[in-house]
Amino acid sequence: MTKSLYYLFFAVLLFTSCKDEDDTVPQSFLNGTYEAAGENTDTGIWYVSQYIFHADGTYEYLHLLRDEKNGDDLGYWGYSKGSYSLRGEDLVLRLTESFALNHEDFPGGYAERLEDLEAQGLSADFVESKGTLKRLDSGEKISLLFECNDMLSGYFSMCMGELVYDRVD
């Protein structure tokens, strides 16, 4: 009888020790589009940063311009994509592709189509960013705080502080 209890205890221990790996990617609550917007009061143009998290553990990050906070998109000045992992509140973004506006070709500050942005080369030091993601307001908002690193060893490593994004879909 005690031998059976030891086997049962070992099986439970084995099962629960493996379970931690299951919560890394993806997190279903995160699937969707989140954005933060700020207005340039001199021009009236809204600068929008938008994350789109997908169920397969990938993400897209867009930089958009709008004439109103919730208005139609005027165009794009940046786009990137990659994969993410989330364990608890610990977020890791792994950049795989990045595209930016060539200001010589688009002096207005944006391109109307993503296809008009130019691919950017990625250095090995610039690919992974670590931070914290918190759900706010029952998932209607998320806050992102990336590690502060003045050596720019990650796409989002600048010392920007915590940013709050609203869920828009």
> Which range of residues forms the domain containing residue 59?
24-167
Residue 92 belongs to a domain:
yes
**CATH at residue 47:** 2.40.128
The structure's pTM equals: 0.79
The pairing of beta strand 32-40 with beta strand 163-167: antiparallel
Question: For 55-77, how does the pLDDT look when each residue is reduced to its tens digit (9 = 90+)?
Answer: 999 999 999 999 999 999 999 99
Q: Residue 140 falls within a domain, yes or no?
A: yes
pLDDT in 10s for each residue of the chain, 169 residues? 444 433 334 343 334 444 444 444 456 789 999 999 999 999 999 999 999 999 999 999 999 999 999 999 999 999 999 999 999 999 999 999 999 999 999 999 999 999 999 999 887 666 888 999 999 999 999 999 998 765 554 555 557 789 999 999 9
**Looking at the domain assignment, is residue 15 inside a domain?**
no
Domain assignment present for residue 10? The answer is no
Q: Is residue 39 part of a domain?
A: yes
What confidence score (pLDDT) does residue 28 get? Answer: 77
Helix or strand or coil: residue 155? coil
The answer to whether residue 51 sits within a structural domain is yes
Per the CB < 8 A criterion, the answer to whether 92 and 128 are in contact is: yes
Exposure class string for 128-149: b at 16+ Cβ within 10 A, else e: bbebebeeeeeeeebebbbeee
Q: For residue 19, tell me if it sits in a domain.
A: no
Q: Which helix (H) or strand (E) covers residue 7, if one does?
A: helix 2-19
32 CB contacts (<8 Å, ≥6 apart)?
52, 53, 167, 168, 169
CA distance 123 to 152: 11
Task: Tell me if 1 is assigned to some domain.
Answer: no
**Domain count within the chain:** 1
